[in-house]
Amino acid sequence: MRLTFSCIAMAGLLVAGAATAQESRVLKLGMQGTAGDPQYQGVMAAAKQIEEKTGGKLKVEVFPNSQLGSFTEMMEQVTLGELDFTLNPFGGMDPWVARAGVASAAYVVKDFSHLQAILASDWGKAVLEEMKTNNKWHTIDSWYFGTRQTTSKKPISKVEDLKGMKLRVPNSAPLLAWAKAMGASPTPVAFAEVYLALQTNQVDGQENPLPIIDAMKFMEVQSHISLTNHLVQDQLILMSEETWEELSDADKQIVTDAFKAGGDVNNKIVTDKETALLAQFEKNGATVVKPDLEAFRAAMKPVYDELDGKFGAGTVQSLAGLAK
């Protein structure tokens, strides 16, 4: 009788232990961004809300600074269900869904609200659905990352000002295509060496979002910042479809709402920072140039024609036409 009671008690403890384990689940999020940047702050706000709204049943552990690998490695981990969340630009999904790269072609996207309209269009939804079907990436939200601008030691007020300029751009097909279409000479320089390359005139200029320009102190060795606005970038919040399907409907809603709230935090920080930085650069003696971008976009026509040839006539124009 004692043995029977002991076995029953032990079984009860095991069941209770299993129930407790099920009540608290830790979801892992890997990202390239550093601790403290706008995306990190948004993610942490989302994680806090998820834990609060689920009463601790769901928790999100965040791994910044590429601790879990490169962005391609983290994307693979999400596909395999080894990682629950990661972040990656919509336009950067072209290695997996080639036509997504149209959104990274210079001047196709006017601003962040335009990019959101593209994502909400039938074209954008089809790309996201293909990502989910082929790679098990469930899209939760899209956050504003920034708009890329150009710094130099002279004003860039027209396309001709870029002709022959040794311009440092990342090894990215859309950005290389933009630089070439502008008549510039794309010059490869490791990111960590860009400051020195600008200082020693190895390159004449570079392009990056304003917060990066500020963080890397490029304006210490550049006199002009031209608002070329050539590429608007976001960060998709991507979740493992396997993890998503394991959540209850209530928890799915909590996760969705939390990341939208985190997106509001991120978007405000990025937008406010972009505005403040322009004023700061001018205060520090830099000249801010606001060129008419119609001629810049017109110079991209050969690139657009090539994209239309690959993905269907009128693709570029139809996406550009979604701007409000």
What is the C-alpha to C-alpha distance for residues 4 and 22, in angstroms, rounded to an integer?
27
Mean pLDDT (whole number) for 202-214: 95
Whether residue 10 lies inside any domain: the answer is no
Residue 257 or residue 37, greater confidence: 257
Whether residue 86 lies inside any domain: the answer is yes
Contact status, residue 225 vs residue 231, Cβ threshold 8 Å: no
Pair of tokens at residue 155: 């004003």
Whether residue 169 lies inside any domain: the answer is yes
**Model confidence over 123-145: pLDDT tens digits?**
999 999 999 999 999 999 999 99
pLDDT score of 15 more than 80? no
What does the DSSP 8-state code read for residue 165? -
Total number of domains in the chain: 1
pLDDT score of 6 more than 50? no
Whether residue 252 lies inside any domain: the answer is yes
Helical segments of 200-300, H only: 210-215, 241-246, 249-283, 294-298
Q: Which of 186, 162, 121, 170 is nearest to 293 (CA)?
A: 162
What is the C-alpha to C-alpha distance for residues 103 and 241, in angstroms, rounded to an integer?
24
Domain containing residue 160: CATH number: 3.40.190.170
Mean pLDDT (whole number) for 70-90: 96
Whether residue 17 lies inside any domain: the answer is no
pTM score > 0.75 for this model? Answer: yes
Residue 2 is predicted with a pLDDT of: 42
Average pLDDT over the chain, rounded to an integer: 92
Whether residue 275 lies inside any domain: the answer is yes
For residue 303, the enclosing domain spans: 24-320
Contact status, residue 225 vs residue 285, Cβ threshold 8 Å: no
